[in-house]
């Protein structure tokens, strides 16, 4: 594939992945893990995938400054200037603003894909075809495009995109509504209607469009980044000040839900956000009893529909259980009902508070 020099990829790699606690921690979050046991971290997979779409020098990774060395370890050939350091966590809108204003400095004709670093995509060729189609759309339109995945179950952990099913051009639909993490009952009605897709959190736009939308919908963030001089010797200090003055807000709440001119490209490319242990069980290879094992020293008896994950080498023996997640990380052992996965983030927070960050 011939690469277009105006096409860019912005990979967000600053999150902590708290629903994968205790394996994903603040010191070593999920994007740096080989969660599938494939020999490659999720970040390395994401970067490699996008090298088939744009020139390597057009891929930027935005991460917390404390993870820069980890990024360099996982992407050893990446130029330092393509790693953008966030001085603090402020959710996805400031993260995307940082990369957007950097690109304004580099190439004002840029057309971008913004993607998370820690999602699973198993059908990479299909994904690249859809991504190329999305970039072409964004070149031509003053509009925001997102990718939607056809839902296979009433998942309450995903955001949903409703689209105008009767208005379609080249397989791309106008968006009607966004809904974050509905109840299971509402998610079932969404699926039954046939008008809803999972929000994959992948956005495509041209630089002029997204700069305009930041100015329109998030002026307080736009003003902070607009005054930054990326070539200044005081840039790092100035950036820290700007971040401290930015609200902590997601791009979904800050722009997508306010914006009228949003489109969605429905696609199926073996996507999972790998947001929870149950989602890992969903995509893992299972035995005839529905058990998934990741790790080398595990023995399971009279057990079904269970995930066992161990990265310690210690022998884990399971007998007579059903529908559980068992995670042995060495210093923490978690055993929980697979259907109560959404509670883990709260539990992890309580444990960290009680033990003064020991298990952080």
Question: Which tens digits make up the pLDDT trace of 154-192?
Answer: 988 889 999 998 888 889 999 999 998 899 999 999 999
Q: What does the pLDDT look like over 46-87, one tens digit per residue? A: 999 999 999 999 999 999 999 999 999 999 999 999 999 999
- Provide the 3-class DSSP secondary structure of residue 246: coil
Mean pLDDT of 268-278: 91
Q: What is the pLDDT of residue 297?
A: 83
- What pLDDT, on a 0 to 100 scale, did the predictor assign at position 39? 86
pLDDT at 3 over 80: yes
pLDDT of residue 166: 84
Which residue, chain included where needed, has tokens 């100035």? 238
Query: Taking the model in full, what pTM does it have?
Result: 0.93
Strands (E), 74-186: 83-86, 111-116, 120-121, 144-149, 159-163, 173-180
The label of the residue with tokens 């490699």 reads 48
Q: For residue 80, what is the DSSP state? A: G
> How much is the mean pLDDT over the chain?
94
Mean pLDDT of all residues in 222-233: 95
Cα separation, 103 vs 54, whole angstroms: 15
For residues 218-237, give the mean pLDDT. Answer: 96
Q: Which of 16-25, 205-214, 299-308 has the lowest mean pLDDT?
A: 16-25
Weakest mean pLDDT among 300-304, 315-319, 354-358: 354-358
Residue range 236-264, pLDDT digits in tens: 999 999 999 999 999 999 999 999 999 99
CATH of 7-272, one of 3.40.50.150, 3.40.718.10, 3.90.550.10, 3.40.30.10: 3.90.550.10
Max Cα–Cα distance, the chain, nearest Å: 64
Q: Report whether pLDDT(360) > 80.
A: no
Chain segment 92-107, per-residue pLDDT in tens: 999 999 999 999 999 9
For position 97, what pLDDT does the model report?
98
Residue 1 has pLDDT above 70, yes or no: no
* Spatial separation of the C-alpha atoms in residues 33 and 247, rounded to whole Å: 29
CATH 3.90.550.10: which residues of the chain?
7-272
pLDDT band at residue 203 using 50, 70 and 90 as cut-offs:
very high
Determine what percent of the chain is predicted with pLDDT higher than 90: 80
Listed in order, strand segments (DSSP E) in the chain are 7-12, 59-64, 83-86, 111-116, 120-121, 144-149, 159-163, 173-180, 196-206, 262-267, 271-272, 292-294, 298-301, 307-310, 316-319, 324-328, 333-337
């Amino acid at each position: 594939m011939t690469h277009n020099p105006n096409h860019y990829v912005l990979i967000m790699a600053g999150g902590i992945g708290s629903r994968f606690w205790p394996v994903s921690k603040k010191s070593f979050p999920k994007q740096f893990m080989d969660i599938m046991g494939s020999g490659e971290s999720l970040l390395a997979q994401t970067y490699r995938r996008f090298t088939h779409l744009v020139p390597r020098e057009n891929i930027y990774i935005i991460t917390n400054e404390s993870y820069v060395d980890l990024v360099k370890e996982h992407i050893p050939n990446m130029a330092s200037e393509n790693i953008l350091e966030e001085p603090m966590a402020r959710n996805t809108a400031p993260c995307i603003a940082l990369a957007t204003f950097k690109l304004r400095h580099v190439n004002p004709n840029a057309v971008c894909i913004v993607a998370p670093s820690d999602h699973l995509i198993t059908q990479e060729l299909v994904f690249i075809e859809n991504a190329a189609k999305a970039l072409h759309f964004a070149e031509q339109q003053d509009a925001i495009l997102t990718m939607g995945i056809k839902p296979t179950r009433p998942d309450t952990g995903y955001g949903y995109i409703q689209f105008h099913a009767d208005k379609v051009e080249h397989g791309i639909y106008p968006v009607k509504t966004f809904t974050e993490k509905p109840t299971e009952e509402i998610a079932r009605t969404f699926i039954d209607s046939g008008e809803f897709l999972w929000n994959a959190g992948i956005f495509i736009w041209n630089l002029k469009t997204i700069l305009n939308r930041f100015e329109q919908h998030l002026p307080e963030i736009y003003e902070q980044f607009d005054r930054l001089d990326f070539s200044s010797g005081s840039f790092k200090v100035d950036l820290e000040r700007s971040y401290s003055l930015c609200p902590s807000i997601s791009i979904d709440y800050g722009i997508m839900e306010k914006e009228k001119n949003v489109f969605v490209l429905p696609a199926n490319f073996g996507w999972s956000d790998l947001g929870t242990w149950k989602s890992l069980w969903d995509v893992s290879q299972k035995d005839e009893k529905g058990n998934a094992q990741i790790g080398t020293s595990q023995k399971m008896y009279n057990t079904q529909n269970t995930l066992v994950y161990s990265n310690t080498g210690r022998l884990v023996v399971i007998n007579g259980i059903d529908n559980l997640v068992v995670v042995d990380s060495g210093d923490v052992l978690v055993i929980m009902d697979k259907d109560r996965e959404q509670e883990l983030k709260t539990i992890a927070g309580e444990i960290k508070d009680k033990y003064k960050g020991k298990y952080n």
